[in-house]
A = this chain, B = another copy of it.
Amino acid sequence: MKACGLVVEYNPFHYGHQYHLKQAKEKTNADCVIAVMSGNFLQRGEPAIMDKYSRAKAAILGGVDLVIELPYVYAVQYSDYFAKGAIDILYHSGVNSICFGSESGNINSFSDAYLLKKQHHDQYEAHVKTYLNEGYAYPDAATKAYQSIFGISSILDMSKPNNILGLSYVQAIKDSQYPIKPITIKRIQNNYHDTAITGNIASATSIRKEVLKNPSASETAAETMPATTLDILKSYKYEAGCWHDWELYFPFLKYRVETMTLTELQQIEGIIEGLEHRIARTASEASSFQEWMTALKTKRYTWTRLQRIFVHILTNKKKEENMLANNIGYMRVLAMNKTGQAYLNQQKKQTELPFITKINQIQHPFLQTEERAAKAFYSVLPGSKHRKFFLQEIKSPIIIK
């Protein structure tokens, strides 16, 4: 069986994702589409609207064959590290190709950009350093370095978020010399950060805003996602009592920061250069997550970077944890259909790393982080619901026949 891999967040699965999925199948002739999906916390440093099991289920009902979890340690990271984790997992899952959406839509521009970056490695690194010294955050410094050397639209427009991610995927494949063919599809949807729903292909951000605004899930939102996703969203709200949102976590986050010592804060991933002092100082003045973020944001500490740090504080993710394991040690299946199951049975015999499902199936440092992240995610639910939702972590994966 031939497999094609996707790197996704599905927050939640909508028509844009379904379009991408069909395109990927057509272009690669794959028998099985595997989606590596972020868990409960997303790359932009946010809790997902609903938990990973619900999102994985919606993905399978929408046409994906197999959903594998992108571990927290990769999922809540800047693009290079995020991509490295996702591509490693897809490689060990045996995919022949990966397919990603991009503003460019032309795969050659990614290969060319990768080569160009490699050829001008020293110059590129020097520029990155300069921009870092000027106070830019790493991803911005990297983009600016790229642009100032190669021009904005010469080969690949690196001001576009999906082009940046795409180059990270291509780089991860080529750096590891994986026999995976990268394919890209031109994104036809809104800009990543657009918050207005304008067609039936909408951005994740706009759908989330729309749905959260209107608890009964408005007609507009309904036009942007399959009925299966909408049912799962409503069912989650019914069962859990909420859709997840940073403001829900604000009391916990604030409580955590206010009862940590500065030394403890300093050990949290992403906290460098004395940021612990600013976070501690601003904590007592903020009366909402939005207010706190606004007080903290600077050129160096972008919104996304700060949100990721807040996720790490919430989940107690420390810098030292990154040193406990350097590589993925397993592929964790969240959900699958018959095709996915057949693929898994075939693949199990020939992979170096185990496919697992339950969080306690093997011992691995990433799974300890995962457990804390899951518990932190469910902490906003009423006491009696925690356990029920957490128990999914030690149950069999979702199988849709």
Contacts and interface: CB of A to CB of B under 8 A. Distances in A.
Interface stretch (A78-86, A141-149, A177-185, A284-292): A284-292
A259 B41 CA distance: 15
A209 interface: no
Given A252-B252, A284-B375, A390-B284, A314 B259 contact: yes
Interface stretch (A42-50, A97-105, A376-384): A376-384
A265 to B, nearest CB: 11
A258 B259 CA distance: 16
21 contacts: A250-B383, A251-B252, A251-B383, A252-B255, A254-B383, A255-B375, A255-B376, A255-B379, A258-B376, A258-B379, A259-B372, A259-B375, A259-B379, A261-B316, A284-B386, A284-B387, A284-B390, A285-B387, A286-B383, A287-B383, A288-B383
- Determine the main DSSP class of A at the interface with B: helix
A260 interface: yes
Interface of A: 250-252, 254-256, 258-261, 264, 284-288, 314-316, 368, 372, 375-376, 379, 383-384, 386-387, 390
Nearest to A286: B383
Nearest to A321: B261
Nearest to A315: B259
Contact of A379 (B254, B314, B372): B254
A316 to B, nearest CB: 4
A316 B260 contact: yes
B258 A384 contact: no
| Interface core residue of A251, A260, A376, A384 (most chain B CB under 10 Å) | A251
A101 to B, nearest CB: 34
Nearest to A257: B375
Contacts of A259: 314-316, 372, 375-376, 379
Contact of A387 (B287, B372, B387): B287
Contacts of A379: 251, 254-255, 258-259
B383 A258 contact: no
Contacts of A288: 383
A259 B253 CA distance: 12
A234 B151 CA distance: 67
A230 B336 CA distance: 61
A76 to B, nearest CB: 14
A387 B282 CA distance: 11
Contacts of A286: 383
A372 B263 CA distance: 14
Contacts of A376: 255, 258-259
A190 to B, nearest CB: 32
Contacts of A264: 316
A252 B383 CA distance: 11
A330 to B, nearest CB: 21
A372 B260 CA distance: 8
A372 B372 CA distance: 23
Nearest to A384: B287
Nearest to A385: B287
Contacts of A390: 284
A47 to B, nearest CB: 13
A384 B314 CA distance: 20
